Structure 1
Amino acid sequence: MRDIIITLIVFGSLPFIFKRPYIGILMYIWISVMNPHRLSWGFAFSYPFAAIVAATTLVALLLTKDPKQLPRSSIVWTYLAFCVWMVVTTLFAFFPAECTDLLIRMWKTAVMTVAMILLIKTRRQIYLVVCALCLSIGYYGAKGGVFTVASGGASTVWGPEGSYIEGNNEVALAFITIIPMMYFLVHETPNKWIKRGILAVMALCAMAALGSYSRGALVGIVAMMGYLWWKSPKKAVMGTVMVLLLPAAIAFMPDKWTARMDTINTYEQDESAMGRINAWKMATNLALERPLVGGGFHIWTGNIFALYAPNPNDVHAAHSIYFQVLGEHGFVGLGLYLLLATLAFRRCSWIVRMTAKRDDLKWAATLGTMIQVSLLGFAVGGAFLSLAYYDVPYYLMALVVCTGYLVENTLKAEAAAARASANQQPRAVAAAPQVHA
């Protein structure tokens, strides 16, 4: 039954995508982030719904008469340079054949991210993209939060099978990254019952993040809360709420959760933590020997650890977005990755600065701030997870480009109208008839 429902929804959306191509972006986000087909048990489980929606969206983009020019954005060009550099590093990789699948997967995200930038042009469309992201991750957050509360935090929350966020650590980072975007929806939604529903899902996502037993997620939550407090105009109120809520949520969790979190302070005695450090040192040694191109995607294997790791027998995944990019794409790749994040964060600051005092554009200021909070949570939590190619942060950066472009065009139009009005006023005065006494 689930297979049929998902198939009908996807194929039923295709005519609407041809009519309004931006709908294809919403559908693609839903399929690629939520993976609804993975909730079925029949033919839909492995059916290429994402490819069908992506192809339809790209054809509709080519056929539409709307302008198809990319904004002049350093974010866009840095992102494309990063994607091109991954092609270069694959050509010089230790195992280029094994890298192909990951390269293709990353470029699929890149193509749809660029398509989003081309198609999402209005405030309503931006709002709908945020809704699609929140719905896709919020489903698992609400489900995981209920599971955590019902089990008293005794069981671990996991993500959707076959996705970037299948693991408990990865899905926890997804939860904390999406909570700020839900906060934006609360501000943008006039209906009080919908507001309450979103707030409830936010709380459940937070509980689900704790229920994942992810130490990186806890660090990310603390970083996000600290940044929110710093940016809040009502620091006393915000601080009081945080002081009350986080300790209460932590107190709810069982002793084994507290014991796991305590290993943050005693990481030298934790085998998992020391294994991560061994992997980070391996990536650093590899990058020092191959500083431009690194080793390519497929380096977290025994053969590579035997060459570069201090402990060649302790083979781990990167467990850090930074060391993952460094080891796989060298210092050039890491530089582009960090530059991309920095440019997106700075553009958010520009959006907030230009719109915070305007009622008509205050939504953009709220969105810019919340994207900053999300990116900060990802940057901190991602320091301990192999999620450098997770698609949601790239979609958020695309939203930064779309929002910034919309704000910039609005300000330019107003400035042009003001100049035109100023130029017309002297002419009107000069043309006025003179009256003689």
Structure 2
Amino acid sequence: MRDILVTLIVFSSLPFILKRPFVGILMWVWISVMNPHTQGWGFATTFPFAAIIGGVTLVSLFFTRESKKLPLTPVTLVLIFFVFWMNVTTVFALYPDAVYLQWNKVMKIMLMTFVTFMFLKTKEHVQLLIWVIVISLGYYGVKGGIFTIRSGGVDTVWGPEGTFIGGNNEIALALIMTIPLMHYLQTTVQKSWARHAFTVAMLLCAVAALGSYSRGALLAIAAMGVFLWFKSQHKLGLSLLGIMAIPPLLAFMPEEWTQRMDTINTYEEDESVQGRFNAWWMAFNLAKDRPLGGGFEVTMPELFYRYAPNPLDIHAAHSIYFQVLGEHGFVGLGLYLLLGLLTWRTGSWIVRNTAKRDAYKWAHSLATMIQVSLIGFYVGGAFLSLLYFDVPYYLMAAMVAMRVLVEKGLKEKGGSVVEKTAGQSVRSREFGQMVPSNSQSVVQNSSSKSMSIGKS
């Protein structure tokens, strides 16, 4: 029944995708993030739904009369360079016969990410994208939370098999990233029952993350909580909520969970942690010896024998940072870190320029929650090989789209843009005319640039 349902949904959406490429983007995100076909037991589990949706979306892209413009922002430019560099390292990969499958998978993700950048044009588009991400991951959060409660926290929560989030650590991080996005959507709904439903869903996602027994997830939750507390205007209320909610959740988990989390303090005795350190040293030594990195496949016995402190302990990188370092060298690592920094600065720009502007309250709130979500990813990702997990790239696209929308709106209304200079002083310039600057603000006209792909 599930196989038939997914098939009907996908094929009934194809005519709409041909008319509007953005529908194809939403369907692609749903299929690639949630992987609903993996929840069946029949033909749908191996059916190429993503390929069909992606192909029809690209066909629609060439025939649509909608504007096909890729915003030329620092984020998109660095992402272009990053993708280009990944192709360079693929050409010079240490194991050229082994990299094709991963290269093919990553390039499909990046292609559809750029298509998302192109057609994410309105507030409604951005919000629909967030809704699809939340529904796709929230399904596993609600399901996993109920499972954890029913089992008393004894059994481990896992994600859909054969996907980016199939492991217990991976699904935990994905659910943690979803909670801030759920909170944003909670502020957009009008019905009280819907707000309460989001509260329950967020709690179940947190319970499911705990039920994954992921130590990295616990660190990511802590980092997100600290950042959210600093950004919040209701620090006392948030503190009281944490005091009331966190102890009962931790007390609910069994002794096995507590013992697992306690190993964070004794990491030097944990074989799993030491194995990750070994893989990190291998990646670092490989990058030192080979500036281009090793290409997409570097978890090879020969490379561990040559570069790892313990050549017999062969592990995947288990870190987005050491994964990119080993595969794409120091240049790749630099581009990836710059991409994260620029995405963060884009969010900060949105937050500064939408503060106390009622028309852009949604952008202020969403940019803040995406920053919280990315904090969780960049902390938890330090212990997971999720470099190519697509959700962070979709959130980057949402950030860029919001900045373009806010910038355009302020320009049309004669508003002002607040920018920070290198010395952290702030200046401001009115759109359309110059105004005197003071020590607190500067007005700067920064119109958006774009690059046309194909014909409008």
TM-score under structure 1 length normalisation:
0.94
Q: Which runs of 5+ in 2 are unaligned?
A: 417-429, 434-456
**Pair 1:330 & 2:329 matched:** yes
Rounded Cα–Cα distance in structure 2 between residues aligned with 1:61 and 1:198: 35
Partner in structure 2 of residue 145 of structure 1: 145
Q: For 1:290-305, what aligned pairs fall within 5 Å after superposition?
A: 290-291=290-291, 293-305=292-304
Partner in structure 1 of residue 168 of structure 2: 168
Count of residue pairs the alignment pairs up: 421
Q: For 1:9-408, what aligned pairs fall within 5 Å after superposition?
A: 9-291=9-291, 293-408=292-407
Alignment check: 8 A CA contact 2:137 2:178 kept: yes
Alignment check: 8 A CA contact 2:120 2:397 kept: no
Rounded Cα–Cα distance in structure 2 between residues aligned with 1:408 and 1:105: 34
Q: Which has the larger share of helix? A: 1
Rounded Cα–Cα distance in structure 2 between residues aligned with 1:300 and 1:419: 53
> Per-residue deviation at 1:356?
1.8
Rounded Cα–Cα distance in structure 2 between residues aligned with 1:179 and 1:309: 37
Q: For 1:411-430, what aligned pairs fall within 5 Å after superposition?
A: 411-415=410-414
Partner SS state of residue 318, structure 1: coil
> Per-residue deviation at 1:420?
8.5
| Equivalent position amino acid for 2:362 in 1 | W
Partner SS state of residue 97, structure 1: coil
> Per-residue deviation at 1:247?
2.2
> Per-residue deviation at 1:244?
2.4
> Per-residue deviation at 1:234?
1.2
Partner SS state of residue 70, structure 1: strand
Q: Note the alpha carbon deviations across 1:54-91, whole angstroms, 9 max, x for none.
A: 11112212212121111121101111111111111111
Q: Which runs of 5+ in 1 are unaligned?
A: 422-437
Larger radius of gyration: 1
Partner SS state of residue 116, structure 2: helix
Rounded Cα–Cα distance in structure 2 between residues aligned with 1:97 and 1:246: 49
Q: Note the alpha carbon deviations across 1:222-280, whole angstroms, 9 max, x for none.
A: 00000000000111111121122222211110001000100000011111111111111
Alignment check: 8 A CA contact 2:410 2:431 kept: no
Rounded Cα–Cα distance in structure 1 between residues aligned with 2:265 and 2:244: 23
- What value does the CA root-mean-square deviation take over the aligned residues? 1.6
Partner SS state of residue 316, structure 2: coil
Rounded Cα–Cα distance in structure 1 between residues aligned with 2:197 and 2:33: 21
* Identical pairs, percent: 55
Rounded Cα–Cα distance in structure 2 between residues aligned with 1:245 and 1:253: 13
Q: Name segments (4+ residues, structure 1) moved above 6 Å.
A: 416-421
Rounded Cα–Cα distance in structure 1 between residues aligned with 2:104 and 2:431: 49
Rounded Cα–Cα distance in structure 1 between residues aligned with 2:54 and 2:134: 20
Alignment check: 8 A CA contact 2:323 2:385 kept: yes
Rounded Cα–Cα distance in structure 2 between residues aligned with 1:44 and 1:176: 28
Rounded Cα–Cα distance in structure 1 between residues aligned with 2:70 and 2:266: 49
Q: Note the alpha carbon deviations across 1:77-127, whole angstroms, 9 max, x for none.
A: 111111111111111111112111111111111111111111121111111
> Per-residue deviation at 1:419?
7.7
